[in-house]
Chains A and B, each alone.
Chain A
Amino acid sequence: MRYHRPGLDVLAHTILIIGALVFMLPVILAVLASTQTPGALFSGTLPLWFGASGLDHYLTLLSEPVRGIGVPAWQLMLNSLLMALGIAIGKLTIAILAAYALVFFRFPFRRCCFWLIFITLMLPIEVRIVPTYGVVADLGLLNSYPGLVLPLIASATATFLFRQFFMTLPPELMEAARVDGAGPWRFFIDILLPLSKTNIAALFVIMFIYGWNQYLWPLVAMSSADNATLVMSLKRLTISQDGTPPWHLATAMTVLSLLPPVVVIVIMQRWFIKGLVDTEK
């Protein structure tokens, strides 16, 4: 049904277009600034079009050790990618297995396990950052890949979603599998995994973005330059002794840091929306 108010439709489109532009503005300006020569950028005129440097700053950042960090940006990006994939894959794996056990099995202390896991739902790592650092140091895992990833997957969001999804499946599904003589592993691999494809894709997008964007934990746990990630290194380019940061590099670095997750979210938009709205039900 339409309410015949063409004037309101025009207003709606206008507000939405202005909104979309305002939200894009910071990124557009950062992209423009990242193509300027330092001279042009600091001369005082606003860059309203691409500058003379083109992609030079990006190539410099990617190929040479970045000032104040010590490794080139491609290595930071690789570390970020490994962290994001480790978090996404690790979290999905442990979550789907645990949810399978919680929904399809009866075993002693099942409720106890349930609560142990779900109490973690709302307490992010930032709250327990100091003792987590202590635990990871005691285990000798500082500056190691497991030390980076494991504390970040110690939460229940994905487990919760899989549990909700498994509980909506018809019980006949399992009866049929049992009549056919399928054991728990057969049932899991041949029936449950294929049915969970959409949920896995949705959670993967969310966890990948969550992982890529981590800041505090990598900053605390990864002190050596070889292990630094891109997002945690941004600050090195925004602080400066003389007051004004090297904006031509800082903007290029920021664009590098936001490009991969933004591409992922735009391409996988459908799964992202589903994952986001479902996790919070």
Chain B
Amino acid sequence: MSTFQRHRVTPWVLMAPQLIIVLVFFFWPAITALRQSFYVQDAFGLGETFAGLANFTRVLSSQSYHEALFNTAIFSVSVALGAMAIALLLATMADRVLRASRAYRTLLIWPYAVAPAAAGVLWMFMLDPTLGVLSRALEALGVHWDYRLNGHQAMALVIIAAIWQQMSYNFVFFLAGLQGIPASLLEAATIDGAGPWRRFWTITFPLLSPTSFFLLVMNTIYAFFETFGTIDTTTSGGPGGATRTLVYKLYQDGIVGLDLGGSAAQSVLLMLMVGLLTLVQFRYVERRVQYH
């Protein structure tokens, strides 16, 4: 790429807005969190003393952190697998009906635009213990439904709302991936006598694996962070912490509980987890690029 070489100031003028915003509103907070994670504030917030890894050991050894970690794992895995499985099924069907696929795409992508918090309210209404359509169906089946008292049911509620919202994102990518699979491969398999079921598992599914892997990472990140609104509007992390995820705990400890050192340590741990995911993602993308 040829470039403007003789301009010394112009590139800095162009870079300045983004650099300043990133430095002030990303690096400054991130570095503050890193620093605070090694300090303990005194009770009045006036002074602080260096505490080494004390914040980390306190967080990592606390029962409620283990619970939040466990909840996050259950929640993320359920949301990722659920949203991807439904999306893959619907995208495969939409890919099959060719011309109509655009119409179905319109009918299936709009939940992406619904706020996670609003998705939570919609499903909270569907599953309201007294008025909800689904809770009545469940009662008729003999399931006593009250997510405000039953932790497992509360978790099911936020998982369903999150799957509903995230499915459309996965659908767009799976449909794009399916439409990128060369027809000649599938034709060849058909001539060899492979039925649709076999064609899917031996050709389509393996060829979609880059898409699936990418979506797995994106869904995990979605479940980790963007579902804060879903959880806050519906269960507020309850009952008894049954839907308290890592981000929800971070919010409760840091913003509500004003535990600076502990929440900073939690921030740093979350950054490490996401950093690791990103690294895996980039490694994988690089490898994929080399194959082409």
Contacts and interface: CB of A to CB of B under 8 A. Distances in A.
Interface stretch (B53-61, B63-71, B150-158, B223-231): B223-231
Interface residues of A, number: 105
Given A107-B11, A122-B278, A127-B225, A231 B32 contact: no
B90 A15 contact: yes
A33 interface: yes
Interface string B102-146: 001111111111111111011111101011010010000000000
A281 to B, nearest CB: 9
Interface of B is mostly: helix
Interface in B258-287: 260, 263-264, 267, 270-271, 274-275, 277-278, 281
A261 interface: yes
A106 B5 CA distance: 6
A274 B184 CA distance: 25
Interface stretch (A3-11, A50-58, A65-73): A3-11
Interface stretch (B23-31, B73-81, B201-209): B23-31
Interface in B139-173: 148, 164, 167-169, 172-173
A272 B12 CA distance: 31
A16 B189 CA distance: 25
Contact of A244 (B18, B89, B128): B128
B93 A16 contact: yes
A106 B3 contact: yes
Instruction: Give the secondary structure class of A's interface.
Output: helix
A235 B113 contact: no
B181 interface: no
Contact of A276 (B22, B148, B169, B271): B169
A269 interface: yes
Given A113-B15, A184-B10, A261-B113, A122 B167 contact: no
B85 interface: no
A215 B136 contact: no
A29 B133 contact: yes
Given A238-B124, A266-B106, A215 B115 contact: yes
Interface of B: 1-5, 7-8, 10-12, 14-15, 17-19, 21-30, 32-33, 36, 86, 89-90, 93-94, 96-97, 100, 104-119, 121-126, 128, 130-131, 133, 136, 148, 164, 167-169, 172-173, 176, 183, 186-187, 190, 196, 214, 218, 221, 225-226, 228-229, 232-234, 236, 247, 250-251, 254-255, 260, 263-264, 267, 270-271, 274-275, 277-278, 281
Given A127-B274, A131-B30, 13 more contacts: A20-B108, A23-B167, A23-B168, A26-B126, A27-B114, A27-B122, A101-B10, A122-B221, A122-B275, A126-B247, A213-B116, A238-B121, A238-B124
